[in-house]
Chains A and B, each alone.
Chain A
Amino acid sequence: MMDDRAAIERCRAGDKEAFRHVVEHYQAEAIGHAVAILGNCEDAMDAVQEAFIDTFQALDRIDLARRFYPWFYIILRNRCYKLAAGRKKREMNISDETEIGAPASSIRPEDTMLLEQVMLELPIEDRELITLRHLDGLSYEELAERLEVPQGTIMSRLYYARKKLREKLVRHSFKGFSEG
């Protein structure tokens, strides 16, 4: 199995097939993250394609000492936000999906469905942050690297995002959640 560094070096040397290794290795994760931001799979697929093409054209600028995915994520994120902004301008709202998949057996399926619905009501920045923290388990340090903000900002943004999510769960009478 080729590692990322070797694949990127081969891409730079003109081997397009090596880029296939990079795409196939990271596409599932990338689509998941794009869905988490955009709220639907169709737009996510477009954003991921564009991001990989941008990446191919920028491979000469990648620092091989850094891990590939956090660097790629910044490109992907820009693509997603640009697409979301365009969608906003067209006044379209095609939110139908989150990254929440099979829940643990301790959670009822209807609760997961309601959680998914409530997550889609959050602003995309909050949905992205919560997904990265809870579904990917990223630390504050990793979140700060991905989102290019200080760790203190991650702390406050995460707090307000969770608070908003909690308030929405209260409004939807989610079991266990109540006003103070």
Chain B
Amino acid sequence: MTKLNCESVCMAAMAIADGYQSELSSDQIEAHLADCSGCRHELGQLRLLFTLLDAQERRQRTENVWTLVERRLPDAAPAQSTSRAWHPFMILGVLLLGYRIVEMVPERDFGLLFKLIPVVLVIGAFTYLRENPFKIDSELSLEGE
């Protein structure tokens, strides 16, 4: 439930003028405006701004970027998504699960080399994928940054 104060009334009134149904009804807004000269002035000013902005038109653009874009497009066209990137991970998962099951066999000591098998499997998977799991992507940024 929206609290009824000057700000919420002005916000709701402008939203209604934009064609959006706010939580405050027209009656609530009218009742508040009848007693609040500050809001009446504020809304009058915002409506004037509304009229001024709506009277503007977009600038016509004639620039053509195609030649610049074409030069930089990769040769290979983007293929439709048939990505099977998850397959190596599935195989890795199955192998690690198998390893874990074998490891659970009681009273068996497979030695140090056996313990290294998961490490070798993970290194093998990332080598196959040609991916560095420790790579930092400097292009990433937080939303709103």
CA distance A52 to B71 in the complex (A): 12
A-chain residues with CB within 8 Å of residue B62 when the two chains form the complex? 28
CB-CB contacts below 8 Å: A127-164 with B: 130, 133-136, 139-140, 151, 154-156, 158-159, 162-163
Name the distance in Å between A4's Cβ and chain B's nearest Cβ. 15
Asked whether, in the complex, the Cβ of B69 is within 8 Å of the Cβ of A107, the reply is no
CA distance A104 to B52 in the complex (A): 10
B-chain residues with CB within 8 Å of residue A15 when the two chains form the complex? 77
Tell me, yes or no, whether B56 is within 8 Å of chain A by CB: yes
B-chain residues with CB within 8 Å of residue A29 when the two chains form the complex? 61
Name the distance in Å between A107's Cβ and chain B's nearest Cβ. 5
Asked whether, in the complex, the Cβ of A61 is within 8 Å of the Cβ of B81, the reply is yes
Closest to A27 in B: B65
CA distance A58 to B83 in the complex (A): 13
Closest to A151 in B: B20
B-chain residues with CB within 8 Å of residue A155 when the two chains form the complex? 11, 14-15, 18, 20, 22
Asked whether, in the complex, the Cβ of B70 is within 8 Å of the Cβ of A16, the reply is yes
Tell me, yes or no, whether B60 is within 8 Å of chain A by CB: yes
B-chain residues with CB within 8 Å of residue A171 when the two chains form the complex? none
> Which secondary structure dominates chain A's binding surface?
helix
CA distance A154 to B15 in the complex (A): 9
CB-CB contacts below 8 Å: B31-90 with A: 38, 41-42, 45-46, 48-50, 52-66, 68-70, 72-74, 77-81
CA distance A147 to B74 in the complex (A): 29
Assuming the contacts A31-B61, A52-B65, A162-B46, asked whether A156 and B11 have C-beta atoms less than 8 A apart, the reply is: yes
Q: Which B residues form the contact surface with A (CB < 8 A)?
A: 10-11, 14-15, 18-20, 22, 38, 41-42, 45-46, 48-50, 52-66, 68-70, 72-74, 77-81, 141, 145
Q: Which A residues form the contact surface with B (CB < 8 A)?
A: 11-16, 19-20, 23-24, 27-29, 31-32, 35, 41, 45, 48-49, 52-53, 56-61, 82, 85, 99-104, 106-107, 111-112, 115, 130, 133-136, 139-140, 151, 154-156, 158-159, 162-163, 165-166, 169, 176-178, 180
- What are 10 inter-chain pairs, A to B, with CB distance below 8 A? A23-B65, A53-B72, A60-B81, A101-B58, A139-B19, A151-B20, A156-B11, A159-B15, A166-B45, A180-B38
